[in-house]
Amino acid sequence: MSRETTDIRQEQIKKAVLDIIADEGLQNISTRNLAKRIGLSEGAIFRHFPTKRDIIKGIMDDVANDLIGSLRNIVLKPEKAEDKLFKYLCQNVKYLKENRGITMLLFSEAAHLGDKELKEKLNQILYEQKQLIIKMVKDGISEGVWDKSVNAEDIAIIYMGIPITFNIEFVLNKNGLNADNFCRRMYTLILKILKN
Amino acid sequence: MSRETTDIRQEQIKKAVLDIIADEGLQNISTRNLAKRIGLSEGAIFRHFPTKRDIIKGIMDDVANDLIGSLRNIVLKPEKAEDKLFKYLCQNVKYLKENRGITMLLFSEAAHLGDKELKEKLNQILYEQKQLIIKMVKDGISEGVWDKSVNAEDIAIIYMGIPITFNIEFVLNKNGLNADNFCRRMYTLILKILKN
DNA sequence: TACGTTTGTAAGTAAGTGATTACAATATTA
DNA sequence: TAATATTGTAATCACTTACTTACAAACGTA
């Protein structure tokens, strides 16, 4: 195998984890299988990550940066709350669709709850997402377009289930839900709760 | 260890799986740990179940019978749709709270997607739940109390996320959500979508 | 009581896991 | 160019996994 820098190898390894999860399922992300998919020896994996756990940690950091980052951008832009909500939902669903392995990896880690640090990282990701949604809702209320008697946190909770359900349907039944359509339909429902 | 019938042992084994998941996390349901918790030798486990997979299968069958059964009872009773919806939601949340291990086990199996038969069983459970919700919504529309322009399937999708989110919050943050309160708050939101 | 069936145990099995080692080949830099 | 740091490999480690085997004890029943 030709030599590559640690930076490049780390990206390859993290990508391989997500690809394997999406293609073969979670139980196949052994370091052996990982090395095989990249075309590298198993020892080389441990040249670029000290432990397997650190690979997972790296992926979680990517989610925190990429997904949360892009969602934050949407929320912070000066736009109408209704438009932001729609874009937010679509972006969220799109990201999960394009990184199918991620939801499974995240919630598997939650379910295994062996590792406090990973659990804390996941908690952080979910918390930040919730705060962004709460902010959007409150902005909409300030704009005067949404019912001020709704509890922003309740909206955040019911919202969080949407991308998760989408992902589960996607895993169980690959062509179960049309993403664009799905996005707009769920948006309509949420809006009905929010409207005056 | 004193002798017990296979029926009793099977129940003990299935219960132990769920208890271990709730207490120690999914990665600890090894046959060794299972035997230890019951106070039995590992070999005895395989006296009562041919494979570990059959234990999981047995648990899934229990869910299909117990949870889906009790939800079906609620839906089929001659009552107002609004009352049924509330009871349905509360029963669903209650069951997941009392059998904390189940949601994790189910979605872990989905994520590992190695086993077609288990995946099919999970699909069936989710499908039946969805059908029950759709029926409830359509009943409410027939009664004339709910907006007939809402898509019953969309309601089912957004509904499905609620118990899942509840469970995730419960796993990550043990006292995160008050179940009774939670139930009523989510009910209020769904009702706002459904109302004329 | 005698006999066949059921339920139990202790000690194994082969296969897979994450991680390490000793060493070779390739870059980087003085 | 010579010395050094980096990236690669093959072999192997100790450990865990689901599952099996050989045999013993307890049970129902004739």
Task: Considering only the beta carbons, identify the residue of A113, A168, A186 that sits closest to B107.
Answer: A168
* C-beta of residue A125 within 8 angstroms of C-beta of residue A63: yes
Distance in angstroms (rounded) separating the CA atoms of residues A139 and A155: 13
Query: Count of residues for chain B?
Result: 196
Structure tokens at B128: 């039946």
Mean pLDDT of B115-120: 87
Nearest CA in chain B to A108: B108
Q: How distant is C1' of D29 from CA of B10, in Å?
A: 25
Under an 8 A CB cutoff, do A111 and B185 touch? no
Mean pLDDT of B156-178: 85
* C-beta of residue A50 within 8 angstroms of C-beta of residue A33: no
Lowest mean pLDDT among B22-36, B50-64, B110-124, B155-169: B110-124
Which residues in chain B are contacts of A171 at CB distance < 8 A? 110-111, 113
Under an 8 A CB cutoff, do A189 and B113 touch? no
Structure tokens at B187: 């009910």
Judged by a CB distance cut-off of 8 A, whether residue B6 touches chain A is no
- Given this model, what pLDDT does residue A140 score? 97
Mean pLDDT of B43-58: 97
Flag whether pLDDT at B175 surpasses 70: no
Q: Within chain A, what is the greatest distance between any pair of CA atoms?
A: 63
- Given this model, what pLDDT does residue A148 score? 94
Q: How would residue B50 be classed by pLDDT, with cut points 50, 70 and 90?
A: very high
Q: Exposure string (b/e) for A69-81, b if CB count within 10 Å is 16 or more?
A: eebbebbeeeeeb
Nearest CA in chain A to B114: A25
Flag whether pLDDT at B71 surpasses 80: yes
Structure tokens at B82: 């609004």
- Given this model, what pLDDT does residue A170 score? 83
Which residues in chain B are contacts of A126 at CB distance < 8 A? 168, 172
Judged by a CB distance cut-off of 8 A, whether residue A185 touches chain B is yes
Can you tell me whether residue A195 is helix, strand or coil? strand
Nucleotide nearest to B2 (CA to C1'): C8
Structure tokens at A56: 């997972």
Nucleotide nearest to B47 (CA to C1'): C7
* C-beta of residue A36 within 8 angstroms of C-beta of residue A61: no
- Nearest residue to A15 via CA among A36, A34, A30, A33: A34
Mean pLDDT of B133-155: 96
Taking the stretch 137-176 of protein chain B, residues with Cβ within 7 Å of any atom in nucleic acid chain D are none
Judged by a CB distance cut-off of 8 A, whether residue B123 touches chain A is yes
Which residues in chain B are contacts of A162 at CB distance < 8 A? 157-158, 161
Flag whether pLDDT at B113 surpasses 80: no
Beta bridge partners of A195: A146
- Given this model, what pLDDT does residue A169 score? 87
Distance in angstroms (rounded) separating the CA atoms of residues B14 and A63: 35
CA B29 to chain centre: 19
Q: How would residue B11 be classed by pLDDT, with cut points 50, 70 and 90?
A: very high
Per-residue pLDDT of chain A (196 residues; tens, 9 = 90+): 689 999 999 999 999 999 999 888 888 999 999 999 999 999 999 999 999 999 999 999 999 999 999 999 999 999 999 999 999 999 999 999 888 889 889 888 777 767 888 889 999 999 999 999 999 999 999 999 999 999 999 999 999 999 989 888 888 877 667 777 999 999 999 999 999 7
Judged by a CB distance cut-off of 8 A, whether residue A25 touches chain B is yes
- Given this model, what pLDDT does residue B176 score? 66
The radius of gyration computed from the CA coordinates of chain A, to the nearest angstrom, equals 19
B141 CA: distance to closest CA in chain A (Å): 16
